[in-house]
Amino acid sequence: MTTIFDTYESAVRSYCRAFPAVFHRASGAELFDQSGRRYIDLFAGAGTLNYGHNNPLIKRRLIDYLRDDGIIHGLDLYTTAKREFLETFESVILRPRQLHYKIQFPGPTGTNAVEAAMKLARKFTGRNGVVAFTNGYHGMTAGALAATGNSYHRRISAGLLNGVNFAPYDGYFGAEVDTVSYLRKLIEDASSGLDKPAAVLLETVQGEGGVNVASFQWLREVESLCREHGILLIVDDIQAGCGRTGTFFSFKPAGITPDIVTLSKSIGAYGLPMSLVLMKPELDCWEPGEHNGTFRGNNLAFVAATEAIRIYWSNNTLSLAIQHKAHVLRRRLRELCDEFPDGVLSVRGRGLFVGMACETCPQAARLISAEAFRNGVILETCGARDQVVKFLPPLIIEENMLEEALDIVVQCTRTVMHRLVKIPSADTPTPFDQEIQL
């Protein structure tokens, strides 16, 4: 059934190894394989399908646009689809939030946006260095990869990954250690070995790195540090943005205003490739074509994006629904964690961006994901040791389907944990001495 893939598709393929079905159709939060078997999707294309698979409201607009021979590819030519996107993004997203940004359309992937953002910061400041954070993930092309922590991804290109220094993210040493003070000291001490960087690049919630959540206070302190020293603050909102944490921009509730923001994944609304760099107007020092690309401006994605923004962000209905479903998700997972000895499983996240961490027993996360897949739920893992089960349901998932998926996840977690962990009794004081390998 998967022979053609095994034979011809490069060994680099990855997600299909964890979820080895041959998928055929999808709708909302449901995926169906070629035999018609149903899966509830709590992964949503790593946060690309916030509005669900084949969202019928967006689909209608796309079909109309295709039928009318709307422009699909136009390099960066002016098109009506691009105009409508810009007007809608300005009037529905930026203006009500009092944000003033110019918009750059780089190539259509997230890593393109990060490349452009880092390059712009370097050009504008005339400085080369960028500070990124432990467990950060920013993409796979050399510039963005330089800012990605994971050594598995970095190692082949190690010799090319220059110009980035890593600082500890919020909570890296536990809640007690103030990691902004550490960064401040490095930046302010002319003898620290860290030259003043062009930019600080961060995710407000680290997606691939393990659903690590920065506190609002930490984000504000990083912003102040940047302001005091003329360093640009770049927020990579590719995974945490577009409503994932409950607000359109994940940084907004922290009260910070980044100099540059990258968006991708769900900005294309329908799983269509698209990415954006938002920059404060005074930073726009690009010369024409200085950062170029054939697939800048995917007009079909503009159409989908415009429609999604109109439907879902013109009022706060979606935001409220996200908060409500986030509450349901967190409550169910907390109850689940409480079934096990203290600290074995823990929940963290913001909005519908949630992780269940198995820090003392990292292999549990992969096993829970595999067991959930066998039982019809798609759930990915993340974190340096793949120790975190990641919950990224489509934001539009119906509550009863979310509950249905959670019933399965609860059952699967119990199955895995009871196999792995010896539940404590009077004569086993340290439950984790008894880990059983499957």
Ligand X SMILES: *Cc1c(COP(=O)(O)O)cnc(C)c1O
380 binds ligand X (CB under 6 A): no
Nearer to ligand X, 262 or 413 (CB): 262
207 binds ligand X (CB under 6 A): yes
Measured from the Cβ of residue 175, the count of other Cβ atoms closer than 10 Å reads 8
Which residue in the set 41, 115, 170, 203 belongs to the binding site for ligand X (CB under 6 A)?
203
Segment lying near ligand X (by CB under 6 A), choices 17-25, 36-44, 110-118, 122-130? 110-118
Pairing of strands 212-213, 164-167: unpaired
Nearest distance from residue 171's CB to ligand X, in Å?
A: 17
Geometric angle at alpha carbon 19, from 13 and 24, rounded to 5°: 95
Nearer to ligand X, 265 or 296 (CB): 265
Query: In the window 36-75, what residues touch ligand X (CB under 6 A)?
Result: 46
Contact 363, 419 (CB under 8 A): no
Nearest distance from residue 306's CB to ligand X, in Å?
A: 20
> What is the C-alpha separation between 422 and 434, in angstroms, rounded?
6
In a 10 Å sphere around its CB, with 0-12 CB exposed, 13-18 middle and 19+ buried, how is residue 370 labelled? middle
What is the residue whose two structure tokens read 């992780």? Answer: 355
Four-CA torsion 117, 119, 125, 129, nearest 10 degrees: 100
Nearer to ligand X, 50 or 413 (CB): 50
Segment lying near ligand X (by CB under 6 A), choices 63-71, 108-116, 321-329, 405-413? 108-116
Q: How many helices (H) and strands (E) does the chain have?
A: 14, 17
User: Looking at residue 356, what DSSP letter applies?
Assistant: E
User: Looking at residue 141, what DSSP letter applies?
Assistant: S
135 binds ligand X (CB under 6 A): no
Nearest distance from residue 351's CB to ligand X, in Å?
A: 15
Nearest to 145 by CA among 133, 167, 134, 161: 161
Segment lying near ligand X (by CB under 6 A), choices 79-87, 106-114, 353-361, 373-381? 106-114
Nearer to ligand X, 139 or 143 (CB): 139
User: Looking at residue 172, what DSSP letter applies?
Assistant: B
266 binds ligand X (CB under 6 A): no
Nearest distance from residue 267's CB to ligand X, in Å?
A: 11
Contact 264, 235 (CB under 8 A): no
Nearest distance from residue 141's CB to ligand X, in Å?
A: 8
Which residue in the set 55, 88, 104, 111 belongs to the binding site for ligand X (CB under 6 A)?
111
φ, ψ for residue 109, nearest 5 deg: -105, 165
257 binds ligand X (CB under 6 A): no
Tell me how many residues contact ligand X (CB under 6 A): 15
Segment lying near ligand X (by CB under 6 A), choices 49-57, 73-81, 115-123, 132-140? 132-140
Nearer to ligand X, 132 or 283 (CB): 132
Which residue in the set 19, 43, 137, 353 belongs to the binding site for ligand X (CB under 6 A)?
137
Tokens standing for residue 220: 């504000």
Residue nearest to ligand X (CB): 110
Query: In the window 139-178, what residues touch ligand X (CB under 6 A)?
Result: 139
Nearer to ligand X, 137 or 313 (CB): 137
238 binds ligand X (CB under 6 A): yes
250 binds ligand X (CB under 6 A): no
Which residue in the set 79, 109, 204, 257 belongs to the binding site for ligand X (CB under 6 A)?
109
Query: In the window 218-237, what residues touch ligand X (CB under 6 A)?
Result: 236
Looking at 103-261, list the stretches that DSSP marks H as alpha helix, in order from N- to C-terminal side: 110-125, 142-146, 151-154, 179-188, 216-229
User: Looking at residue 160, what DSSP letter applies?
Assistant: G
Contact 46, 265 (CB under 8 A): yes
> What is the C-alpha separation between 88 and 80, in angstroms, rounded?
12
Residues contacting 420, CB < 8 A, separation 6+:
361, 363, 364, 367, 435, 436, 438
Binding interface with ligand X (CB under 6 A): 46, 109-111, 114, 137-139, 203, 207, 236, 238-239, 264-265
